[in-house]
Amino acid sequence: MGVSLTEIARQLENNDKKVQLIYAFNGNGKTRLSREFKLLVDPKIDDESIDEGLASKKIIYYNAFTEDLFYWDNDLNNDIELKLKIHSNSFTEWVLTEQGQDRNVIGHFQNYTNRALTPRFSPDFSEVTFSLEQGDDSSFNNIKISKGEESSFVWSIFYSLLDQVINVLNVLDSIERETDKFNQLKYVFIDDPVTSLDDNHLIQLAVDLAQLIKKSDSASGLKFVITTHNPIFYNVLHNEINQKNCFMLDKDEDGTFELQVKPGDSNQSFSYHLHLKKTIEEAIEINQVQRYHFTLLRNLYEKTASFLGYKKWSELLPDNKETYYNRIIQFTSHSTLANESVAEPSPQEKQTVRLLLKHLTDNYSYWKEA
């Protein structure tokens, strides 16, 4: 029998570690936990649309609610002036207007996405447009970026804010600080800032975040709670950060939750490969294989190849390797623009997932011993 998310939030609040790192599979309550934690440590406002200002906050957080501050104006009449609008809030007001961090935000965003993908803020920072610069000096203007790129953009603003927060609070004498806006701040809660990033950019984001956390002086009292469903992101933070407690958040069948202490990385603690296998098997069983199941399948092949010492995961594929490799790559490559989507898997392609999963588990000792 587990406990409520409120009880889990209370456990986190009572923990004295600088960093609490939490792994949870999707759908197990990470974002809801961030909400419960916020209401517990800073319960003054129960309405996300009301902004009290940074000076009153005991917690800042990045999660789905943060992303809700940004919304698209799709110019439905002309389909020309596509803009990402920014709700008025103290979060972006501080970073963009007061601190003039727009150039840093652009730099961070391009590091995590594409150097040619360029945001342009309006003079009052109420909206932003995006263009894709080409090597031949041409460009695509006013494009709508993908959801993953949008998440990276919002994260880049949050990252700039967090950098400022840490710099200010590292001045331990509050009288000497350049601003008193963060004097009440006690917690930073970060929920999955890695949506749709490829592995290289995901690792870079994790390393950057770890460096910021390590830069934060423990004497400032600032604590970090980080949740994720991504094992690579989890493992990088696990290896980079010392002052931490690690957990797995799990949801029981009765709707309650458990927060289990986990001493190792995801491969040691979570049997992540078994979860991937089960997820794919369930999709095959009910004929609901989707594009993302190819990504999970590729992940399984990569983990197996790494464990068995193969240089390339494609070496594990059955005969006609190039055909199978190209099919998996087609469904797992990352598109730059939102409209460059790949069609839903056909019945034959869904059958490919079944065949390749069976081939992997039937032919390699990694799975026979798992």
Q: Amino acid letter at 115?
A: R
CA atoms within 13 A of residue 52's CA, in its CB half-sphere: 15
Under DSSP, is residue 70 helix (H, G, I), strand (E, B) or coil?
strand
Can you give the pTM of this predicted structure? 0.73
Per-chain mean pLDDT for the chain: 84
For residue 334, what pLDDT is reported?
45
DSSP 45: -
pLDDT at position 322: 83
Summarize pLDDT for 16-28 with one digit per residue, the tens.
999 999 988 777 8
Distances (CA, A) of 137 to 24, 99, 336: 44, 31, 18
Confidence of residue 217 (pLDDT cuts 50, 70, 90): very high
Residue 214 is encoded by which pair of tokens? 């390590």
Contact 361, 281 (CB under 8 A): no
Closest CA to 237 of 262, 206, 281: 206
Dihedral angle over CA of 313, 319, 321, 324, nearest 10:
-100
pLDDT (tens digit per residue) in 139-166: 788 888 988 889 899 999 999 999 999 9
Q: Which residues pair with 21 in a beta bridge?
A: 226, 246
Tell me, what's the pLDDT at 138?
65
Per-residue pLDDT reduced to its tens digit, 82-124? 899 998 888 899 999 999 999 999 999 998 888 899 999 999 9
Q: What is the pLDDT of residue 341?
A: 44
pLDDT digits (tens, 9 = 90+) for 41-64: 988 655 554 456 788 889 998 987
Q: What is the mean pLDDT of residues 280-284?
A: 87
The residue among 150, 233, 248 whose CA lies nearest residue 190 is 233
* Residue 295: per-residue pLDDT: 79
Identify the pLDDT of residue 48. Answer: 52
Residue 47: predicted pLDDT? 53
Give the pLDDT band of residue 184 (cuts 50, 70, 90): very high
